[in-house]
Homo-oligomer: A and B are copies of this chain.
Amino acid sequence: MAKVSFEKKLIIAVIGSGKCSAQEAVLAEAVGRELAKRGAVVVCGGMGGVMEAVCRGAAIESGLTIGILPGDSPADSNPYVQIPIVTGAGYARNVAVANSAQAVIAIGGDYGTLTEVGFALKSGIPVVGLNTWSLYRGGEQDKSIIIAEDAVDAVEKAITLAKGQKLD
């Protein structure tokens, strides 16, 4: 058998609303650029808003972008998705978005983002948050979501955690 080897790719999911503020789009694009510069593959839900902005950022820096789509057609994806995964499974695809990454960056976010945060944390996949949900249970904060200051900090933290390293 022919010998084959290749490096394991670093895969980071970026999650956020399909409709986002201009500020969130700027943040998401910066996250996408930084991820691509650092060699990470970007996984997202493939649609608009935060998903489109992060793909655009990654594409600017020639990064690879994967969109795990809810619908039935690759034509539904934003124009910066290079590999559309066409699940046809609606929001059930949120499970795949969260679980296909070694770390997740959540930007802002609506209830769909909340479900992806939940799926990632359930699987023990680190979640880094930029202006996203805070969770409380029994009166105490669940501190599983790592707070980031800005796009570069979020990417630095996500990559560190994705590699199984500790944060400073």
* Chain A residues close to B by CB (< 8 Å): 1-2, 4, 6, 9, 11, 41, 56, 59-60, 66, 68, 72, 74, 80, 82-96, 99-100, 109-112, 114-115, 117-119, 121-123, 131-138
Contacts and interface: CB of A to CB of B under 8 A. Distances in A.
Number of copies: 4
A115 B118 CA distance: 5
A83 to B, nearest CB: 7
Binding site of A, secondary structure by majority: helix, strand, loop or mixed?
mixed
Contact of A96 (B87, B114, B123): B87
Nearest to A60: B2
Given A85-B68, A87-B96, A122 B137 contact: no
